[in-house]
Amino acid sequence: MELYKEIKLRPKKDESLKRFHPWVFSGAIAYKPDNMTEGEIVRVLASDGTFLGIGHYQIGSIAVRILSFEDERIDVSFYEKRIAEAYKMRVDINLVRTDNNTYRLIHGEGDNLPGLIIDMYANTAVVQAHSIGIHKDLTLITDALKKVLPDNVLQNIYYKSQSTLPYKADIEPEDAYISGGKNASETALENDLKFHIDWLKGQKTGFFVDQRENRKLLEYYAKNRNVLNMFCYTGGFSVYALRGGAAQVDSVDSSAKAMMITEQNVQINFENNVRHSSYTEDAFKFLKESAYGKYDLIVLDPPAFAKHRGAINNALQGYKKLNLSAFEKIKSGDILFTFSCSQVISKEQFRLAVFSAAAISGRKVRILHQLTQPADHPVNIYHPEGEYLKGLVLYVE
Ligand code: SAH
C-alpha cells in the first residue's frame, strides 16, 4: 500500500486545523519532503508529531487543502462517503424533486471536499476541479459519483475544468464527457421552470445555480411591475419575473450569446411572449441612457468585480457607481435587488458601498431583505470564507 508523505507544521501553527479550518498556509510549514508533487495526498502533523489532517498538497499560499481530519485513506470509498452525505442533505431538504433537477451537489469546502464543484442539470453532473489534487483524483470521484447516485438521477458526467485549471502546474485538462453524453438533456428544471443549460460553452458550469431562491423571491415581487434584469446571462430572473406576472421584462447583457440563451429560455417557458425584450448592451450605458423612470423593479447581478484582494477598492467603487446609477433612475415605491458575488468583499463592505450610493442619490431607502447563497451552496461553519454571495432587496422612495 502506498504510503502518504508527511509535512510538519511549526509550533503553534496547528490551532486553526484543530478548529477544523481546512487550509494549511505555506508559512505554517516547518518541514516538507523535497520530492512533493502538486496534487498529491499528504498527511499533516503538528510540531510534536500529532496527526492533524490529510489533504491535497499544492504550490502557492494555501499549501494543503484538508479533505479529512481523520487518519484515513483517500480512495473511492472516501469520495463515496462524502458524495453520499452531500446527496442525502439535498434530498433531505427537498431540493431533488420532479420539478427541480437543477442543484449544486458538491460545493467545495462547504461539503468537505475543497476544490471540487459538482452541479446537477437534469441527468447530467458537471464536474469542475479548482485544484490539481481534485483533477488527479478525478477517476476516484466519478467512480464514487456513479456508485452513489441512482441510475435515473445520473446518466452523464461532463468534466469542465479548462477555465479553472490552465495556469496551475502546466495542466490543461480537456473539457469532455467522462460518461454518457449522447442523449444528455440540455433542458433542466428549476422550480418547475425550464432552462436550457450550455455546459459546453457557458460560464461556470453553464448556469448560476446560486440565485435560485433569490429568483423565487423576485417572482413574488414582480406582479404588474416593469422589471429590468441587468447582467441577465441566461435570463433566470427574467423568466421568474414573467411567471410572477410582470407587466414587462427587459433583459440586458453585454454578451450576444447570453441574450440568445435568455431569449431561448423565455421562449421554452412562455411561447411567443410579448412581455419580454432583450438588449445586448453595456449595463452602465443602458442605465444611463435608457432607464430613467421606466422601471419599478431593477435587478443588478454583475459579475464578480473583485477576483482577488488587490482589486477590492476598485470593485467597491464599481458597486457604488452601479447602484448610484440605479438609485437615480428608479421611481418612488420601487424595488431594487442588488448583488455582489465577489468572495473577497464582505457583506459589510458591500452594504457600505450601496449605502454610499444611496446617500449620494439622496433617496429614502429601506432594506427589505438581506440575501445570500442557497442551501445547496452551504458554508462550512469552520470556513467562513465560503460565504460569497450577498444581496440586498431595497425599497426606494
Ligand atoms: N444574473 C445572472 C448571472 C449574471 S453573470 C443569473 O441569474 O444567472 C454576469 C453577466 O454579466 C454575464 O452574463 C456577463 O456577460 C454580463 N456582463 C459583464 N459585464 C457587463 C457589462 N458591462 N454590461 C452588461 N453585462 C455585462
Q: Are 186 and 196 in contact (CB under 8 A)?
A: yes
Helix (DSSP H) and strand (DSSP E) numbers for the chain: 10, 20
Ligand 1 atom, smallest distance to 208 CA: 8
Q: How far apart are CA 187 and CA 289, in angstroms?
A: 35
Residue 1's pLDDT is 57
Mutate to test the pocket of ligand 1, among 254, 264, 279, 305 (most ligand atoms within 8 A of CB): 254
How many structural domains compose the chain?
A: 3
Q: Are residues 270 and 369 in the same domain?
A: yes
Q: Where are the alpha helices (DSSP H) in 149-291?
A: 212-221, 236-243, 256-269, 283-290
CATH number of 58's domain? 2.30.130.10
179/323 same-domain check: no
Q: Are residues 280 and 163 in the same domain?
A: no
Say yes or no: 182 and 223 in one domain. no
Residue type at position 318? G
**Residue 385 falls inside a structural domain:** yes
Choose one of 50, 68, 86: the last residue of a domain. Answer: 68
- Cα(235) to centroid(ligand 1), Å: 10
Residue 307 pLDDT: 85
97 Cα: distance to centroid of ligand 1 (angstroms): 29
Amino acid 166: pLDDT: 63
How confident is the model at residue 351, as a pLDDT?
97
Residue 202 forms part of a structural domain? no
Query: Is there a single domain that holds both residue 220 and residue 348?
Result: yes
Q: Choose one of 195, 253, 285, 388 to mutate for the ligand 1 pocket test, by most ligand atoms within 8 angstroms of C-beta.
A: 253
- In CATH, what number is assigned to the domain containing residue 378? 3.40.50.150
The region that residue 383 occupies, defined by phi over 0 for left and psi between -120 and 50 for alpha, beta otherwise, is beta
In a domain, 54, yes or no: yes
The grid coordinates listed for 184 are: 444528455
- Return the pLDDT at 184: 81
The answer on 264 and 370 residing in a single domain is yes
For residues 393 and 367, the answer to whether their CB atoms sit within 8 Å is: yes
Distance from residue 237's CA to the centre of ligand 1 (Å): 12
27 found inside a domain: yes
Longest Cα–Cα distance of the chain, Å, equals: 70
Domain-ending residue, one of 20, 48, 68 = 68
- Name the packing angle between helices 76-92 and 138-148 (round to 10°): 50
Q: Which residue ranges have their beta carbon within 6 Å of ligand 1?
A: 208, 211, 231-234, 236-237, 253-255, 258, 282-283, 301-303
In tens, the pLDDT along 322-361 reads: 999 999 999 999 999 999 999 999 999 999 999 999 999 9
- 124 within some domain: yes
- CATH code of 94's domain: 3.30.750.80
- What gap in Å lies between CA 241 and CA 216, rounded to an integer? 9
| Residue 47 belongs to some domain of the structure | yes
Q: How many CB atoms lie within 10 A of CB 342?
A: 25
Q: Are residues 82 and 222 in the same domain?
A: no
Which amino acid appears at position 319 of this protein? Y
Domain boundary among 52, 68, 84: 68
Residue 285 located in a structural domain? yes
Which cell is 170 given? 502546466
Q: Say how many residues make up the chain.
A: 397
88 & 221 share domain:
no
Instruction: Provide the residue range defining the domain that includes 25.
Output: 5-68
At 292 the pLDDT is: 80
Query: Beta 102-107 vs 116-121: how paired, if at all?
Result: antiparallel
For residue 348, the model assigns a pLDDT of: 96
Ranges under pLDDT 70 in the chain: 1-2, 166-170
Which three cell numbers mark 15?
A: 490551532
Task: Please check whether residues 232 and 370 belong to one and the same domain.
Answer: yes
pLDDT at 167: 65
Element (H, E) at 314: helix 312-329
174 lies in the same domain as 297: no
Q: Which atom of ligand 1 approaches the CA of 285 most closely?
A: 23
Same-domain pairing of 227 and 333: yes
Q: Are strands 248-253 and 334-340 parallel, antiparallel or unpaired?
A: unpaired
Whether residue 251 is found in the same domain as residue 173: no
Asked if the structure places residue 242 within a domain, the reply is yes
Question: Three cell numbers at 371?
Answer: 440575501
Nearest CA owner, ligand 1 atom 10? 231
Rounded-to-10 torsion of CA 75, 78, 84, 86 = -110
Sequence-ordered list of residues with C-beta below 8 angstroms from that of 276, at least 6 positions apart, any chain: 238, 242, 248, 249, 250, 251, 263, 266, 270
Instruction: Write the CA distances from 1 to 4, 68, 73, 75, 168, integer angstroms.
Output: 9, 19, 10, 12, 29
